[in-house]
Amino acid sequence: MRQRFGIGYDSHTFGAKRPLKLGGVEIEHSSGLTGHSDGDAVAHAVIDALLGAAAMGDIGRLFPDTDERWKGADSIKLLAEVKRRLVAASYSLVNVDVTVITEAPRLAPHIEEMRNNLANVLQLPLNAVSVKAKTNEKMDAVGEGKGLQVFAVASIGGA
């Protein structure tokens, strides 16, 4: 089996009048993330990592923010569609590793639920899904609490 790797990145600012969702988990916070869909930056970064590993473009090409079908869309469902496309192209998912960078809210209490959600939608064992949370040590806009960043790495096999 040929192994392939992809890197995904997403960032959003806080300020949307909707719940904060990360990795499909609703997290109590003063505001949600801006964005055309539900703003789930964890799901978005994983989508881009998977699409990158398969050389199948990126989230903006597959689910453009100019298309009203994706306005407010559940990003976990978008991730499920990407998984379906990878399997249809004869790829198998191996693992994903995610790092969320934010000053607040505190994510540690939600990490296991995020891992479970991602493992379920990607049909991976829990030990193949990693989610970590870091701060930016008060540096830049993320450090000032204006938004968050997410990095993801995915490994796939096949094709």
Of all residues in the chain, the percent with pLDDT exceeding 90 is 91
**Predicted TM-score of the model (pTM):** 0.96
Q: Where are the domains of the chain?
A: 3-158
- Tens of pLDDT, residue by residue over 33-65, are 998 899 999 999 999 999 999 999 999 999 998
Name, in order, each residue with C-beta under 8 angstroms of 63's C-beta and a sequence gap of 6 or more: 37, 70, 73, 78
pLDDT digits (tens, 9 = 90+) for 60-108: 999 998 988 888 899 999 999 999 999 999 999 999 999 999 999 999 9
Locate 98 and state its tokens.
Answer: 């995610």
Cβ-contact 67, 23 below 8 angstroms: no
Say which CATH class 3-158 falls into: alpha beta
Per-residue model confidence (pLDDT) at position 65: 86
Q: Torsion over CA of 128, 93, 155 and 143, rounded to 10 degrees? A: -60
Angle between helices 41-53 and 111-122 in degrees, nearest 10: 40
DSSP 3-state of 155: strand
Q: What confidence score (pLDDT) does residue 67 get?
A: 86
Distance CA 35, CA 135 (A): 22
Q: Is the pLDDT assigned to residue 159 strictly greater than 90? A: no
